[in-house]
Amino acid sequence: MSRLFRIAIDGPGASGKSTTAKLLATKLGFGYIDSGAMFRAVTLKCQQQNIDLKDQEKVKQVAQSARISFPALDQVEMDGKDVSNLIRNSNITRNISHVASNMGVRDILADQQRAMAKGDIPGANSTGFEHNGRVVKGVVMDGRDIGTVILPDAELKVFIEADIKIRSKRRYDELKNKGALGSDTLQDVQKDLEARDLADRTRKVAPLLKAQDAIALDTSHLTIAQQVEKIYDMVYQRLS
């Protein structure tokens, strides 16, 4: 193929999209870009510099200066430092909406994400797989507006959904396993997710929406392996 086969996976927090996207990228030999991690990294850097997240111009400057990369599948680096675990704590989750709704930040990160999806800058290295005598290379990107804003012409768009209680338990277990839970209870985690859902769906800038041509996938009762397999089949269907 002359260009990368781009897969856009959108959905609310803890719907399973990031884990699914990572494993799918590995299975296909595609590059992986965690767009949400980029917003989390900017939020972290603002907090580290004691910058008011409501000061849009200063937050934009932070986003412009932050050097975010994905040296490995489960690793996020910012300015040369591994921030993979730091960006996943509940304090980031509670405050990320201010950064995610900042138009200046979104424009900066969107340009970086599109460049990665084209293979113009590091972050989406792809070995690909052989299909009908040719090597297909591509990239998997997940987030909340990938199919609607970042990659509206992606070759495949999937919108992942799941019941809020199931999503809350998934996020609670994730934070617990990473030692980033703190004193939060399962109810606290659910409240955080519900608040983030509301902020994502009602924000004026790039709200969480299912693209008209996206395929809906409810993961409430699917294992991660089943989610990956379903989207894997979708890729082959598109190629055929």
- Total-model pTM: 0.82
Tell me the percentage of the chain whose pLDDT exceeds 70. Answer: 98
Residue 211 has pLDDT above 90, yes or no: yes
- Give the pLDDT band (50/70/90) at residue 225: very high
- Give the pLDDT band (50/70/90) at residue 60: very high
Q: Which CATH number fits domain 8-227: 3.40.50.300, 3.40.50.720, 3.40.50.20, 3.90.850.10?
A: 3.40.50.300
Average pLDDT of span 49-62 = 97
Average pLDDT of span 166-181 = 92
**Where exactly are the structural domains of the chain?**
8-227
Average pLDDT, the chain: 92
Helix (H, G, I), strand (E, B) or coil at 93: helix
- Tell me which long-range contacts 54-61 makes (C-beta under 8 A, separation of at least 24): 54/98, 56/102, 56/103, 56/104, 57/104, 59/98, 59/99, 59/102, 59/104, 59/105, 60/102, 60/104, 60/105, 60/108
Residue 17 has pLDDT above 80, yes or no: yes
The encoded tokens of residue 125 equal 């290295």
Which phi and psi angles does 221 have, rounded to 5°?
-120, 30
Residue 124 has pLDDT above 70, yes or no: no
